[in-house]
Amino acid sequence: MIGIVVRFDLVDPTAARRFDELTDDVVPAITAGEPGTLVYATQAVVGDPLARVFYEVYADDDALQAHEDAPHVQQFHALKAPLLRVPPRVEHVVLGAATGLPPG
């Protein structure tokens, strides 16, 4: 399994609302069309209304590549880009003990 944590810092409240709309649109497509995406959790940051954090878990490298290549994800990336204050911070993480995930 592959884990990724991504932080997005948005330019202003209007951008944050639009980012959330884009997220609301793309997550159902990820759920329906990406069986190798095991977790795709989007979160707002308490105390930082212009920040969002995604926690993503993929079954393997192929699942991650399928996610990145999916048209709905490509569109999400293109539409969110102008909403960001800085490039997203992407952290690849090693998964440890967890609940709700298959053994990896």
Average pLDDT of span 76-104: 91
Average pLDDT of span 13-36: 97
In the predicted structure, residue 104 carries a pLDDT above the cut 70: no
Give me the pLDDT at residue 73, please: 98
Q: Are 51 and 10 in contact (CB under 8 A)?
A: yes
pTM for the model:
0.92
Neighbours of 27 (CB within 10 A): 17
Give me the pLDDT at residue 103, please: 72
Structural domains of the chain sorted by starting position, each given as residue range(s) with its CATH number in brackets: 2-93 (3.30.70.100)
Place of tokens 């990820």: 30
Average pLDDT of span 6-26: 98
Q: Are 26 and 40 in contact (CB under 8 A)?
A: no
